[in-house]
Structure 1
Amino acid sequence: MDMDGVLVSEESLVPGADAFISEMRENGISFMVLTNNSIYTPRDLRSRLHRTGLDIPESAIWTSALATARFLQQQRPGGSAYVVGESGLTTALHNIGYVLTDRDPDYVVLGETRTYSFEAITRAIRLVEGGARFIATNPDEKGPSREGSLPATGAVAALIERATGRAPYYIGKPNPLMMRSALRALGAHSENTLMIGDRMDTDVRSGLEAGLQTLLVLSGISGHDTADLFPYRPTRVLGSVGELVGRTLDPFGDNGADCRAEQSGSSE
């Protein structure tokens, strides 16, 4: 499941999310919390979730930074990278033995940060022009804040791409690579795994392309009006994960009817 918009909204708990997590634990259902945000380490995110009332272990948190590190470890073990990002990304790369350098790196790796600098972006552009492979943790163009939208990784990646003519390879959602790596970390198979998310363009799409059933919750980004604009649909739609309490063992069973009809009043 996604984190922001599914379990938490800003720094507040989505109503019923704590009961949902508790019920999954009681029923022995394994789960993984996914996030495209590469700023924080799993330990940081565990602390953030704990403050909202959710007790989720580090081992059950999978970030685009971890997915990026696993990808690079498979592609070029023991390589080097110039990183524009925060501790979540640099820690993940250090943990796989990567050298972080601004001198002739194998990769330029762009992640989320709140302190993009002109100097760092200029250096990234010159290194990509010099032959470094261009990787970005996720394609999200903007993110939410209390004051309004913030530019995110995808927006800065577009700037570097425009300047160099080189498009990045995005690791995070909706790339099914992110979902596949999370499935491996969870020890699960797509045939018996459900993806819960609040965004059609990342969560639902990545779930579909990885062969999972998908559940869209309306507690975050996508609503019925925006969801209907996409050429694909989730398996079901619910208001929030709180509505799954009492039905975690059979989320799509008869007790659920058709969640799209429940939410929209349609006759489908």
Structure 2
Amino acid sequence: MLVDSHCHLDFPDFAAEIDDVVGRATAAGIGCMLTICTRPERLPATIALVERFPMLYGAVGVHPHEAKDFTDLTVEEILDLTTHPKIVGIGETGLDYHYGLSPAEAQQEGFRRHIRAARIADLPIIVHTREAEADTLRILEEEGQGGDRPPLRGIIHCFSGTRQLAEESVKLGLHISLSGIVTFNKSEDIRATAKDVPLDRILVETDAPYLAPVPKRGKRNEPAFVAHTAQRVAELHGLPSSDFARRTTDNFFNLFTKIPRQEA
């Protein structure tokens, strides 16, 4: 069994064939999928999906691109979004300076509020970071530990950063989730880093509908394709695919403790 630790099944790309998409994932051995809600007003659609399909669970937060639209969203309001039993994580949140779609200050303040909510709820946080590694690590360190709350746990999702980002994130207690990017021809540096990530900190994802892995590159991504990413990372670690699948599945359920393991 494999887990797709990050996809966006509420996106319009899947609306016309969601049953087929989930069916293909199940046939490919994907036993659990985490679908990520990136704007609070989309949460009802995510909840409808996770209630419809037993193997789907959800997370909710404000994507850094959207931060400018939610500068008034409080920690308490973020917590209110997570009350459904199948909403098991907070995010995605984080920092993305590549496009500048939201001011850096709004992104940083929103990121801090998500981290505080995650620690209060003791839920994993799903972190997006692009061209913002120094600020991402600084805020994770400042907000992720200390006080009377549990230390932060969570994921650097769709990892495409530096070795330093991976190493420092692991030190801070986070997992590294690898997407189809790790299969791309020009991703030698990412593969070199992925090879050295401790096996108990690795997850795999699609980020569907984006970033389809080789040999599906150029197509709309979907959860079934996570098997290709998993196979490539297993090869990097010199493991049989079945062993790697077991390890990453265990990592996922050890992290997302709100999900009853027996339901998968």
TM-score bin (small chain): 0.3 to 0.5
Structure number with greater Rg is 1
For normalisation by structure 2, the TM-score amounts to 0.36
For normalisation by structure 1, the TM-score amounts to 0.36
Q: Structure 1 or 2: larger helix share?
A: 2
